[in-house]
Amino acid sequence: MTELPISLDLIAERNAVHAEALEEDYAALGRKLSRTGIDIDAIKERVAGFSVAVPSWGAGRGGTRFAKFPIAGEPTNIHEKLEDCAVIQQLSRVTPRVSPHFPWDKVNDYKALREEAAALGLGWDAVNSNTFQDQVGQAHTYANGSLAAQDAATRQQAVDHNIECIEIGRQLGSTDLTVWVGDGTNFPGQQDLGRSLDRYLEAASKIYAALPDDWRMLLEHKMFEPAFYSTVISDWGSSILAAQELGPKAKCLVDLGHHAPNVNIEQIVARLHRFGKLGGFHFNDSKYGDDDLDSGSINPHQLFLVFNELVEAELNPRDGFNPSYMIDQSHNVTDPIESMLSSAETITQCFAKAQLVDREALHAAQEANDTMMAFQALRRAYNVDVAPILAKARVEAGGAIDVLEAYRLSQYRSRKAQERKAVGLGAGIV
């Protein structure tokens, strides 16, 4: 087995420093929770069972059309990205799977890649196709769309690429294909809004037909960007109707940053679940658009409310409950490893807080139209500082009590800065 990237001694040493404080805080929280009938160890077990995937591309520094500012030691290929993801998993113990993106992560030998990941303690999550960019040597441009393109050969090329992604995913052990397309328009009239959806559905159904029996096709909607007047799968309504047309293996994926301003995302989660089409999440946060900021950095309460819906959905599964969780952020100003460590922590906190809601009290208040007490049932859980629960679960799984501290002390990035080749300036496109 490959050596894990962070020294076990370092982790152990730092955990020893923090152990006493953790025990004290965990015990105090345990007493507090026990007063309302909650067993902290049971919550800790649920937290220990939670996980969220990280995207291979998230290991690199992100940017905007204006610029990308690289950092020393950035990964430039899937092997280096895997190593970085292994750091996140080693320290946090909640990110055991990596979601690859093709053709960005193409290699010659996927069996070897799967083994390489396994040696680092990593498995594989949903496979992501890319038909929003042209690759060198590509036969047909995606300048005018991909799955919804006017040109049949372009659509077929996009279908073929997605089917190739499924094939790669099978070799890696994935069971989900996530399909996000940039197709859309910048001008009224540019495309017929009805016929472009027809073309999308026709092409998507060819991909759907190639899905193995145990796979799902996750449709990811987005309101705007890169298209700025219309996008073919712009909202959850378009997404679920498309998923209905495609069939039972097609589900909807919710990226938290892909909605119109002010939209109630937790209700969208409830709606998708209600109609049997909740497929998964791309976690991030935003203030303005698809800002791809760190999960919960802007509105952690919204993230909690999403998890509250997920707990309700699990308790009331209707047509099943099996959402896929992934972080999807653009780390423009931080070390991507640090952002994913911090984000995984925040996501898990929201998961844990949602577990703490007194659902009996909540449902009783709802049934009695006791608005204030229903709200308080959520708010009391949200206000709990669950950090000790997460830290305890983490340390028991071999992770670090203070993940950022351990990472910084490891000097992982500066070591990589010496090993890895430098990344050039992102010139900006504007």
Min CB(18)–a second copy separation in Å: 10
Between 121 and 155, name the residue whose CB sits nearer to a second copy: 155
Helix (H) or strand (E) holding 375: helix 371-383
Measured from the CB of residue 297, what is the shortest distance to a second copy in angstroms?
6
Sort strands 216-220 and 123-124 into parallel, antiparallel or unpaired.
unpaired
278 near 269, Cβ under 8 Å?
yes
Measured from the CB atom, the residue of 215 and 382 that comes closer to a second copy is: 382
Longest dimension (CA), the chain: 66
Are the C-beta atoms of 12 and 395 separated by less than 8 Å? no
39: DSSP letter: -
Q: How far is the CB of 15 from a second copy (least distance, A)?
A: 16
* CA 148/CA 142 separation, integer angstroms: 10
Find the shortest distance in angstroms from Cβ 129 to a second copy.
Answer: 14
Our CB check for a second copy shows the closer of 37 and 261 to be: 261
Beta carbon of residue 128, minimum distance to a second copy (angstroms, whole number): 11
State which residue, 24 or 39, has the beta carbon closest to a second copy. 24
Alpha-carbon distances of 342 from 22, 56, 80, 208, rounded to whole Å? 18, 17, 20, 36
Residue 319 DSSP symbol:
T
Measured from the CB atom, the residue of 50 and 229 that comes closer to a second copy is 229
When the beta carbons of 181 and 211 are compared against a second copy, the nearer one is 181
CB of 335 to a second copy, least distance (A): 7
When the beta carbons of 175 and 230 are compared against a second copy, the nearer one is 230
**101 and 128 in contact (C-beta within 8 Å)?**
yes
- Would you say 120 or 161 has its CB closer to a second copy? 161
- Give the residue from 216, 212, 220, 213 showing the smallest Cα distance to 236: 220
Contact between 290 and 234 under an 8 Å Cβ cutoff? The reply is no
Q: Within 13 Å of residue 239, how many CA atoms lie on the same side as its CB?
A: 31
- In angstroms, give the least distance from the CB of 201 to a second copy: 9
Distance in Å, CB of 336 to a second copy, minimum: 11
Residues 6+ apart with CB under 8 A from 240: 252, 271, 272, 275, 277
Neighbours of 264 (CB within 10 A): 12
